[in-house]
Copies of this chain bind each other. A is one copy, B any other.
């Protein structure tokens, strides 16, 4: 099969011939239909930051994928050849405290597909059956690889009741754009987006944002309060990972409000813990991943009932052999992209 492989400790990857993986007893072999690029694939592709330290070469990466079940390991239950599945990238053990208490996404023995084991930028991938999500019909096949990041946004926005809340979505990458759409569909009062890139600001409007603010311009908090109310927002969903953005997003929350910590800064950061967390009595949710499979059911429902429509966020579809162009588009300085699909 063809697979996108990190072969050298240097920027770039190679689309090369590799043997089709053999599924273990508890795995499914998936014939990949579509994949998509996550922000965390960029340091892997470029071999920078944590990726250079954690990944052992050679390595097939990619963790947003969907496709058809082509073979079922002997210990699997509930799947058959021909089933169309999306894949949960958080490989939970199923046996630890967290797994047996409905917190699989923070499993004590968590592995990430495409990082801790071979991933999905390929024609075939072997994945644990317990991480596969069977589609009930064909209507979401084109979105199959995007369900996993959509689920992140579902969890981040809906971790607490959003009805009648004013919401700040801080950062309009694909998950921020999803988040806007989700908040509007679930009864949020006003959704304010913060984004620097004009391309993405425009997409944010399209996804339903009531206002889009440029955080690079002066007096962000003043403008936010004008748009959302003098007290600040009820809910602030931080999806930029930018240290300054994180601080502004914290300060934007009203007394007793909610903050979602989702975006990942590259280093430690400084906060006004006493004033911005304790005295305001806010609640902070650290969100990595999604509730397995609660978030999956929610997103399937939101998509099928047409409460949300995320197709505008998919701005590019590339053949996997054109990966270089895809990653260039992804890392474009003006961020003229939403979600990017790779087809093997």
Contact = CB atoms under 8 A, between A and B. Distances in A.
Interface stretch (A5-13, A58-66, A97-105): A97-105
* Majority secondary structure of chain A interface residues (helix, strand, loop or mixed): loop
A164 B297 contact: yes
Interface in A203-261: 231, 241, 246, 254-256, 261
A123 B65 CA distance: 49
Interface string A299-315: 01110110100000000
Interface string A78-100: 10000000000000001101101
Contact of A268 (B158, B264, B273): B273
Nearest to A276: B286
Contact of A77 (B94, B105, B165, B305): B94
B261 A297 contact: no
Contact of A265 (B105, B274, B293): B274
Contacts of A270: 268-271
A189 interface: yes
A281 to B, nearest CB: 4
A288 B283 contact: no
Contact of A106 (B100, B163, B280): B280
Given A273-B246, A297-B97, A301-B164, A187 B288 contact: no
Contacts of A78: 94-95
A269 B271 CA distance: 6
B255 A98 contact: yes
Contacts of A165: 301
A108 B107 CA distance: 26
Contacts of A20: none
Contacts of A106: 255-256, 280-281
Interface string A154-172: 0000100101110000000
Contacts of A304: 189
Interface in A277-304: 277-289, 293-294, 296-298, 300-302, 304
Contacts of A103: 255-256, 281
Interface string A43-83: 00000000000000000000000000000001101100000
A186 interface: yes
B271 A268 contact: yes
A285 to B, nearest CB: 6
A336 to B, nearest CB: 27
B187 A302 contact: yes
A285 B286 CA distance: 11
Contacts of A264: 274, 278
Contacts of A26: 77
A101 B164 CA distance: 13
A174 to B, nearest CB: 18
22 contacts: A74-B75, A77-B95, A78-B95, A97-B231, A100-B293, A103-B281, A106-B255, A108-B231, A158-B161, A164-B302, A165-B301, A186-B187, A187-B187, A187-B307, A189-B305, A263-B278, A265-B273, A277-B286, A279-B286, A280-B286, A281-B287, A283-B283
> Top 8 nearest A-B pairs by Cβ distance?
A164-B301, A186-B187, A106-B255, A284-B284, A103-B256, A189-B301, A102-B102, A277-B286
